[in-house]
Structure 1
Amino acid sequence: MTTGVRPAAGRFDDLARVVGPRRQGAGACWCTSYRDARVPNAERPAYMSARCDTEPGPGVLVHVDDEVAGWCSVAPRSTYRRLGRSRTIPTLDDRDPWSVVCLVVRAGFRRRGLMHVLLAGAVEHARAHGAQVVEGYPVEVAGTRVDVVPGYVGTVELFEAAGFHRAAPTTAHSGHRERWVVRRELGEAGVPQVRGSRPGG
């Protein structure tokens, strides 16, 4: 089995297989909720296709033996309208962090550790495009089972395993679960930076 993470730029068809509806004509988020929730349902495929036509693209895709298996939305925070207007997810400083807002693994590919692969690939994608810091807004699960929909933002445990640290609590919740702003510092122009005694971020 060969696994690899690739940018979504130039790969809209693969993105559609992950975030598009299973039934033609059905509604779907198309991962526009954070980018711009005002986009009408019928216009969402074209909206995301346009994002895939430009660099650096809207995120990354994980492939298993050249079949798309999952998606991670990662881009500068300033490109997400919902984050710019958020009253629940704080802005921590004057930098423009790259934000991870959604991680999805397709049915049939789950329980293979691909969430970890996706998140690692998202960090490297951000680093390659000059990010100084990467943020996420995951839920605190404390070892309990998380529902699918809240799970799209990832768990604190997933991010901490990838070298992120808890930077600030939010006032947002997924169900009854607390959410955090977690960060991984990459340093100036993506150069790795060690935080205290925590290796890798």
Structure 2
Amino acid sequence: MTVRDLTRDTWSDFERVLGTNGGARGCWCMHWRLSIAEWMDGKGEGNKKAMKKLAGKKPAPGVVIYRDSTPVAWCSLGPREAFPRLERSPLLKGIDSEPVCAIACIFVHRQYRGAGLLPSILEAVCDYASARRYEVAEGYPIEPRAGRRAGADTAMTGIASAFVEAGFEEVARPRKDRPIMRRVLR
């Protein structure tokens, strides 16, 4: 797995991963960056334009993940404060003042879901974050009930078992199905 910043040059690969619907329900990975009202107002094309604007700035709002040369996933990441809705979330609020690289969203192209790629994707994302001098990566996965699969809109933050396989440890559990997990990068 390799990763590349989301830029204007990788935009078409990002679109390919998210599909015509922009991920789940026209999100275009703006869920954690906007208030719910702003997100609803921009649902679809508005959110797409907002993300395209972010793709033209530095630091990149996230990375496209490739298996060989094929784009297979997207990961939105950066400092927690880059995600205002995450910061305001009563469920996923910060647990301490540790500066972390928040892994806010992981979206796997539908063709590659269920293929066991998520731990490798997380490894590549952690390598990327470490190279950018982050010391800790933090994720907010879900833990589906036994025997159930999570849908794309609920699994957007990842699956807990994949985080464990990628070396993350649970540091908090604000709800039965929502652990907060960290991995020390340095």
- Please give the TM-score of this superposition, normalised by the length of structure 1: 0.78
Aligned counterparts, 1:112-131, within 5 A = 112-131=115-134
In structure 1, the gaps of 5 or more residues are 172-176, 187-191, 193-201
- Among residues 88, 91, 95, which one is paired with 1:92 in the alignment? 95
Q: Indicate conservation of the 8 Å contact 1:5/1:117, yes or no.
A: no
What pairs with 1:36-75 in structure 2 (closer than 5 Å)? 36-37=34-35, 38-39=38-39, 40-41=42-43, 42-75=45-78
Aligned residue in 2 for 1:169 = 173
Aligned to 1:197: none
Q: Per-residue deviation at 1:115?
A: 1.5
Whether the 8 Å contact between 2:106 and 2:157 is mirrored in structure 1 is: yes
- Contact persistence 1:19–1:30 (CA under 8 A): yes
Check whether the contact 2:138–2:180 (CA below 8 A) recurs between aligned residues. Answer: yes
Aligned residues of 2:120 and 2:166 also touching (Cα < 8 A): no
Work out the CA distance in 2 between the residues paired with 1:92 and 1:164: 16
Give the alignment's Cα RMSD to 1 decimal: 2.2
- The answer to whether the 8 A contact 1:4-1:64 is kept is yes
What is the identity percentage for the equivalent residue pairs of Structure 1 and Structure 2?
Answer: 29
Query: How many Å separate the matches in 1 of 2:100 and 2:113?
Result: 28
Q: Distance in 1 between matches of 2:67 and 2:168?
A: 25
Q: Write out the 4+ residue segments of structure 1 that deviate beyond 4 Å after TM superposition.
A: none
TM-score normalized by the length of structure 2: 0.84
Instruction: Give the aligned residue type for 2:32.
Output: Y
- Matched positions, count: 177
Per chain length, whose mean CA-contact separation is higher, i.e. which structure has more relative contact order (CA < 8 Å, sep 6+)? 2
Q: Distance in 1 between matches of 2:91 and 2:115?
A: 33
User: Could you say which structure has the larger radius of gyration?
Assistant: 1
Q: CA deviation at 1:163?
A: 0.8
How far apart, CA to CA, are the structure 2 residues paired with 1:128 and 1:150?
Answer: 29
| CA distance in structure 2 between the partners assigned to 1:108 and 1:140 by the alignment | 22
